[in-house]
Amino acid sequence: MNLLMCPVCREALSLDARTWRCINKHSYDIAKQGYVNLHVVQHKHSKNPGDTPESVQARRAFLSAGFYQPLQQAVIEKIRELRIENLLDIGCGEGYYTNAMQAEVMQCVGVDIAKNAVQVAAKLNKDVTWVVGTGATLPVLDHSIDLCSSLFSPIPEQEILRVLKNNGLLMVVTPAPDHLYAMREALFDEVKPHEPYKFVDQLSNHFELVEQPVIESEFELNQEQLKNLIAMTPYAYKAKADRRIELEKHEKFKLKAAFQMYLFKKKD
């Protein structure tokens, strides 16, 4: 079953050679890197939305070194346990988590608004359907998805409700209160704990909370790894330049990662 939806007329897309087409003759070619761009011009608010190429490369370098592998493993184990058929990863970025998810499901779609991130992701795994698209119009058909995942990404609630099957699941991963606390302490005068529980309140009308594990790990970074971590976070542009420069002088830096995972079930 093809899961993709035409972003113009919302009809089903079917694959013809290397082109996705709908019955209304809208067509979208698969790029040579292996992804399809379903982010049509009329839905764009900027020329190059999403992460910068520098941020994408920093994230690829940091994640491939394995520092967030405990989270990746927890996500995979949960998906395996749930026996998911069709999965949509919203905000897939450069594909670190999506690539691992694919092995546990029948069909996996990874979508991100940043074309440069999807271009990098598409080289990882040809069995994932990689899509440049927007959460404002998720590029999959109504009631076609068993599990939507959003790891550190937006949660377009109405669109998720549209694409999920009845009793479908939503997995959200967001920073736990003390995630990377030492780094934030070095970058900002005042450090406010993350507030993951706000998502539970926001989603309570349409989703029932099933599980809420916290995944923690500690690690020590060298100077280059620390620079990559800073560059892949919003802190790269939120922190004052002098504080960032001072932090990046550290040759070794110990950190604790703390991730809040929520598993929600769509209410009837």
94 is in an annotated binding site: yes
Task: Report the distance separating Cα 101 and Cα 105, nearest Å.
Answer: 7
What structural domains and CATH numbers belong to the chain?
A: 34-180+188-218+256-266 (3.40.50.150)
The pLDDT of residue 44 is 46
Q: How sure is the predictor about 255, in pLDDT bands with cuts at 50, 70 and 90?
A: very high
For residue 230, pLDDT beyond 80 = yes
For residue 45, pLDDT beyond 60 = no
For residue 93, pLDDT beyond 80 = yes
Q: What is the pTM of this model?
A: 0.94
Q: How sure is the predictor about 47, in pLDDT bands with cuts at 50, 70 and 90?
A: low
Q: Compute the average pLDDT of residues 177-206.
A: 95
Task: Report the distance separating Cα 114 and Cα 52, nearest Å.
Answer: 8
The pLDDT of residue 48 is 55
Question: Please, what is the average pLDDT of the chain?
Answer: 94
Tokens representing 183?
């780094």
Question: How many residues are present in the chain?
Answer: 268
95 is in an annotated binding site: yes
The pLDDT of residue 49 is 56
92 is in an annotated binding site: no
Question: What proportion of the chain, given as a percentage, has pLDDT over 70?
Answer: 96
6 is in an annotated binding site: yes
148 is in an annotated binding site: no
Tokens representing 165?
């099957």
Q: Express each pLDDT in 111-145 by its tens digit.
A: 999 999 999 999 999 999 999 999 999 999 999 99
